[in-house]
A and B are shown apart, each in its own frame.
Chain A
């Protein structure tokens, strides 16, 4: 079990800064996801870790050793690419055999014709290894085929297999599910999680899809603009985002971000209505942003008056988009189907007790000691 650490990684392409001194420690054996919108630098960070890209500044450590200048091959990491990057001219078995051959066979043994003769025993061992891995992934019946003859899901497994045979220190995955259709993607999420549990190896996973991040990771790092904004367990980040950006990125449907105000008495108000918050806003006065997730709003007799402009029925829940006069964006609100009014109906909505998150004008979360204890409890 090896710890992987990135220290002060900075990188820019020409004039454009992509990473601004990122620090990240990956615990041995964990499933860590780097999640963020495209262009946030997450793929670059992964490629720097892999050694495919050189950082302008900073250090990459694997198991306490500085590997910043070590070649990718020598880092003993395996990568699953977005396009799978299988060698199209080689069979599945040969694809999986390639990293083993390059690692274990010498120069002479890798020669065509002569190579197989001098290294027959070794090669048999490697083939057995491939066979074993293929059986775990249930692709042993595909070993003779070429990648072009496989479906997307099968290619995905072969790419995983090629990564697994080597028993690397960690698996790096760059959006590996983005080329699959929706149903298969959900299925592969579960399978990857299971695989991670059974292998016990570190997974470092890059995605722009927050659903993947939330469902699979032990911890996730939310990246934006070349920085890690928040690192933590998926639940903690969802419930307790540090900044308005993180709150806005994680969660679907999106969190409602509403302009509000803390009045002279320290009460939080939206369009004049008081939002029930169990914290004393002693030192804050003036405009703030109030974050309310769809499940934190509820129909109420006295609340913000609006009209249902759109109604999305998902079966188990109904999401109402409520247009409120004075707010630019309609509010999104989750209600049980039984209580859902028809589109066009007038409705009043109020925030549930203690659910509102308050962000200062700069985007920083405003927290008070009481509030924090409340969340932890």
Chain B
């Protein structure tokens, strides 16, 4: 009887893994070579046409542009701020938990709800941000050219100005995400043996920077690899804010047309499953390569335990 028990245990999981995770990849792969639409009886094979479109049309150029702009702002900032906050909080001792709680709040709050709150806060005329900025007009702040310009011509329409939209969305992404990285770094920091700092101290590492270079940063290596990868994957998947701010079209001049939104727009809204599937495949490619790189790095680094 025991020899068959495992079939019952593994079976459901195996079945679901194949049907829910593997089959869709196959489906996406297959559909990406067709012009399939939901409701149509069949579909025509179109070869690489969908992929050619993705890599030639300006819409998709904008898609990659928006996605990479977002990712290359959000990842370094969430990682850097996360590490900075963790180091500061870790060095405090007493009130650390207080800040930790606050910084972690955005991670818990539904992003869609908070995105809409931000939309209000950033409202050009009655939003909290611009009314506060206006209060600073006529003070020394006007020495800053950008500020003086804002006072004279009105402060930016953060979410609807082409020049600001993607950066504003990225800012909200950073706001939401750095607390998560901070917590991971805090966990990493507590696992560094105290004796290493003592050894460094006796070896002559006098400044905080020297101890950081000699002990903290190398010891956080595995944490950093993980934090960077998970931040990359999370920021590649940004969707909620974009859909909330720009339900149609992906922002001013498509400047916030990120990949997940493109999949949603092409596939669900416009029922162009072929092109949607092709974007899905490209997207999966990115994510898997990133994760594989992470695993390789982690394996190489786990030598020193």
Contacts and interface: CB of A to CB of B under 8 A. Distances in A.
Direct contact of A and B (CB under 8 A): yes
Interface of A: 47, 50-52, 71-73, 77-79, 81-83, 85-90, 98-99, 102-103, 146-149, 162
A88 B304 CA distance: 5
Contact of A148 (B202, B205, B206, B303): B303
Nearest to A98: B203
A339 B210 CA distance: 66
Contact of B205 (A47, A83, A102, A149): A102
B198 A85 contact: yes
Contacts of B304: 88-89, 146-148
A108 to B, nearest CB: 14
Given A146-B304, A148-B305, A85 B204 contact: no
B285 interface: no
Contact of B204 (A88, A103, A146, A149): A103
Interface in B83-108: none
A162 B196 CA distance: 13
Contact of A77 (B195, B202, B219, B303): B202
A78 B205 CA distance: 13
A72 B211 CA distance: 13
B124 interface: no
Nearest to B221: A89
B215 interface: yes
B204 A79 contact: no
A51 B195 CA distance: 13
Contacts of B202: 50-52, 72-73, 77-79, 99
B203 A102 contact: yes
B134 interface: no
B141 interface: no
Most buried by A among B196, B198, B199, B214: B199
Given A83-B193, A87-B196, A87-B215, A52 B305 contact: no
A149 B305 CA distance: 9
Nearest to A77: B202
Interface of B: 193, 195-196, 198-206, 210, 214-215, 218-219, 221, 303-305
A299 B196 CA distance: 55
A39 to B, nearest CB: 18
Contacts of B195: 81-83, 85
Given A89-B219, A102-B210, A81 B203 contact: no
Contacts of B218: 87-90
A148 B195 CA distance: 16
Contact of A149 (B196, B200, B303): B303
B203 A73 contact: yes
B58 to A, nearest CB: 41
Given A88-B305, A98-B214, A79 B198 contact: yes
Contact of B303 (A50, A71, A73, A146): A146
28 contacts: A50-B198, A52-B201, A72-B198, A72-B201, A72-B202, A73-B202, A73-B204, A78-B202, A79-B198, A81-B195, A81-B199, A85-B193, A85-B195, A87-B199, A87-B214, A88-B218, A88-B219, A89-B218, A89-B219, A89-B221, A98-B200, A98-B214, A99-B202, A99-B203, A99-B204, A103-B204, A146-B304, A147-B304
Contact of A79 (B196, B199, B214): B199
Contacts of B215: 87
Nearest to B215: A87
B199 to A, nearest CB: 4
A148 B214 CA distance: 17
Nearest to B217: A89
Given A102-B203, A102-B210, A85 B196 contact: yes
B203 A162 contact: yes
Contacts of B305: 88, 148
Contacts of B201: 51-52, 71-73
A170 to B, nearest CB: 12
A259 B19 CA distance: 80
A103 B205 CA distance: 9
A71 B198 contact: no
A52 B198 contact: yes
Given A77-B202, A85-B196, A148-B304, 11 more contacts: A47-B198, A51-B201, A52-B201, A73-B202, A73-B204, A87-B196, A87-B199, A87-B214, A98-B214, A99-B204, A102-B210
Contacts of A47: 198
Contacts of B303: 146, 148-149
A311 B121 CA distance: 84
Contact of A102 (B193, B196, B204, B219): B204
Most buried by B among A83, A85, A98: A85
A146 B303 CA distance: 8
